Amino acid sequence: MARVSWGGIFPVLVTPFGADGSINETRYKALIDDAIANGAQGVVAAGSTGEFYALTKAERARLFKLAVDHAARRVPVLAGVADLRVEDVLEACQSAVAAGCAGGLILPPIYAMPSPREVVAFFAHISRNTPLPLMLYNSPRRAKIELTPALVEQLSALRTVVAIKDSSGDITQVSELVQRVGDNLRVFVGYETMIVPARAVGAHGVIAMAHQIAGPLIRAYWDKALSGDKALEDLGRDVCALYRCFQSGSYYAAIKETMSQLGRDAGGPRLPLLPLADEQKAAIAKIIADAGLERWAKA
């Protein structure tokens, strides 16, 4: 398969829900427009931040199609295709292909905790059975599986594997990934807080969470990461403040609450997550006020 040229900031879109729990498609399209206007070079539909685990198959397929149609080739759209059953992963891949997605973001098998041999067999099976270009997703905290650089190097030989998102939080691992597979795969990190060290070791992009809340901040942080600009320290401080907001409750619920407090409402989360408690909301409000984050939401 031809290599891809993905790089830069790819925000994982939240899935906005209305008061009745249905997907707010108008708000979803606005999020896509905002992301592109603020310098995103791609978007991810129905990823983890998009609460893929709480969506029906039909809803995920609808989000894939909605994102592709509304992006209208302005940026590539990646589909979150992770699931429990191998057959359901392939069905999500088929929906992504039908929608016209540029690729799929795929976790290793969830819950089963397979051995490295079984992980390779899983990805090989998916690769054989879909033409969708795949971005591997290393999320050891959530998947309980570590896609090590050596294992990623082995997986890079698969026909449809074109990229890796590493959410290990380990810059040494990111550096090794770049050295081992950077000529063949596009290497992304999973946290905007890692932009500066990741760019310094040659990573190609970030799969972003905070960009859809404070796009100008994340774009400036990305652009200045290698410049040595004196403003970089202040930008980094604000990025870290946003991530402290996210840590004030269950991550994906806290992201939505932070968005709401900064005037970018996307509704609440779906079960099993709950809207944040009052004390958690207050903690986020204090972080926002102390760091002056309102200026980025209005930029």
Report the distance separating Cα 52 and Cα 57, nearest Å.
9
Is residue 160 a known part of a binding site?
A: no
At 15, which amino acid appears? Answer: T
28, 65, 165, 191: the catalytic one is 165
With beta carbons less than 8 A apart as the criterion, state whether 245 and 280 touch.
Answer: no
- Separation CA 253–CA 25 (nearest Å): 19
Catalytic annotation, pick one of 28, 137, 191, 221? 137
Has 49 been labeled as part of a binding site? yes
* φ, ψ at 218 (rounded to 5°): -65, -40
User: Is 252 among the residues known to form the active site?
Assistant: no
Helix (H) or strand (E) holding 240, with range, is helix 232-246
165 catalytic residue (yes or no): yes
Tell how strand 103-106 and strand 77-80 pair up. parallel
What is the signed CA dihedral for 17, 218, 191, 99, rounded to 10 degrees? 50
CA distance 223 to 13: 21
Contacts of 194 (CB under 8 A, 6+ apart): 169, 171, 174, 206
Give the residue numbers annotated as catalytic, written as ranges. Answer: 137, 165
Residues at the binding site are 49, 207
Residues at the binding site for pyruvate are 49, 207
